[in-house]
Amino acid sequence: MARGAATEEPVRQRLLTEATRLFAERGFESTSVQEIVAAAGVTKGAMYHYFASKDDLLHEIYGRVLRMQMERLTTFADASGPIAERLHAAARDVVMTTVDNLDDSKVFFRSMHQLSPEVYKIVRADRRRYHERFRDLVIEGQRGGVFRGDVPAEMVVDFFFGAVHHLGTWYHPGGPLTGPEIGRHFADLLLRSLAPVG
């Protein structure tokens, strides 16, 4: 007997997708387990079969996002070519990826402090490694004299990612700018602000 395609999609995946959407829409605390399972078309029992708790669901979402972002950054950072080009490409990519997965991004920055202390620590550590890899690109450029050296690299990264994280607040598909456009602009702004003094 052939089953419907919708039902075919693994339950676990459906739960993650719907949870992400709902957490992005109304926040972790304001989303009930009941709403999640209803949206995924299963019962609570099913959810607790795949996930240890509501917290665990959030943890899994974080894991997925972190793995993907780190992978992409590594690809761009480890490529060949001038440092300015590599940083530009990496910056542009993280913006486009964020725009393409806006729900993930919203959940990430709105609900991070709802994680349990232990999980929170793990996520922070993963996130720090990501930031450090990005910062190293800035430092590389500063050492090579391609970027100005009178600004703390760490702070520049926080500055830039603040702008990236905030995309979820104002970007809407169908707005005046597309993801790639914003990506190019953001990368331009970053690179220009790092340009050495004339």
In the block, residue with structure tokens 């104002």: 170
Q: Residue 138 binds what, of DNA, a second copy, none (CB under 5 to 8 Å, by partner type)? A: none
66-85 positions binding a second copy, by CB under 8 A? none
Listing DSSP states for 48-84 in one string gives HHH-SSHHHHHHHHHHHHHHHHHHHHHHHHTSSS-HH
Q: Residue 193 binds what, of a second copy, DNA, none (CB under 5 to 8 Å, by partner type)? A: a second copy
| SS3 category, 101 | coil
Nearer to a second copy, 14 or 20 (CB): 20
- Residue 67: other Cβ atoms inside 10 A: 11
Q: Give the up-direction half-sphere exposure of residue 114: CA atoms within 13 A in the CB hemisphere.
A: 18
**Cα–Cα distance list, 118 to 38, 55, 114 (Å):** 29, 11, 11
4-43 positions binding DNA, by CB under 7 A? 11, 30-35, 42-43
Q: Residue 129 binds what, of a second copy, DNA, none (CB under 5 to 8 Å, by partner type)? A: none
Given 12, 21, 27, 149, the residue binding a second copy (CB under 8 A)? 27
Residue 52 φ/ψ, nearest 5 degrees: -70, -30
Q: Is 67 in the site for DNA (CB under 7 A)?
A: no
Q: Is 117 in the site for a second copy (CB under 8 A)?
A: no
Residue numbers at the binding site for a second copy (CB under 8 A): 26-27, 29-30, 109-110, 113-114, 151-152, 154-156, 158-167, 169-170, 176-177, 182, 185-186, 188-190, 192-193, 195
Residue numbers at the binding site for DNA (CB under 7 A): 11, 30-35, 42-46, 48-50, 52-55
